[in-house]
Amino acid sequence: MLAIAIGLYPLAYLVMDPDMGLLASKSDALLADTAWNVAFYGHISFGGVALLTGWTQFSKALRRKYLLWHRRLGKVYLAAVLVSGACGVYLSFFATGGWQAGLGFFLLGVFWIGFTLLAYGAVIRRDFRQHGRWMVYSYAACFAAVALRIWMPILILVFGEFLLAYRVVAWLCWVPNLIFAYFWVKRRGLSLG
């Protein structure tokens, strides 16, 4: 349910006042920059598509019954990750919170793309076990969008300020997800290597 809610969240930007949310922390010059806008809207739009399609890929029942749809949605997920991840890497250089937040988001984008490409390479080789392992990591990175929105209000309450909370959430939204993914994969006997 959270993946669906946050996957649809980019639609709010169609009706939201540009002086609200994260956009309020950006300079007028940056908000007027075409490349930044393409990256921002590309990141949130395709990231939403990845969130909306990715979770369906983990249902064994759906996969067995609708294998063709699994493959088609997998291709949609792959394309969405490549676009959103690349846009996210670009945006990391303009991150609110400076280099600390920027580095966290940069690495998130690189890992998300990397895990997804490893999963795609495995399925091309017809190594479905390895494909499944890498997809757990890919979606754990994708789920950072949800984790960020859960952690952010908590961190603002803890630290009493947005900027410090944003620097921390740039790491907290994805590193624990990957740790969880590691133990999930290991517990199910899917460890990599």
pLDDT of res. 8: 58
Is residue 11 scored above 70 in pLDDT? no
pLDDT grade for 193, boundaries at 50, 70 and 90? very low
Q: In angstroms, what CA-CA distances link 52 with 4, 122, 143, 168?
A: 5, 22, 11, 26
Q: What is the pLDDT of residues 24-33, one digit of tens each?
A: 777 778 877 8
Q: What is the pLDDT of residues 52-96, one digit of tens each?
A: 887 777 777 777 787 788 788 889 999 999 999 999 999 999 998
Q: What is the pLDDT of residues 123-162, one digit of tens each?
A: 999 998 898 899 999 999 999 999 998 999 999 999 999 9
| Of 13-22, 83-92, 107-116, 177-186, the least confident | 13-22
Note the pTM of the prediction, 2 decimals. Answer: 0.85
Residue type, 21: G
Name, in order, each residue with C-beta under 8 angstroms of 191's C-beta and a sequence gap of 6 or more.
133, 185
Q: What is the pLDDT of residues 164-173, one digit of tens each?
A: 999 999 999 9
Q: Where are the domains of the chain?
A: 2-18+27-187
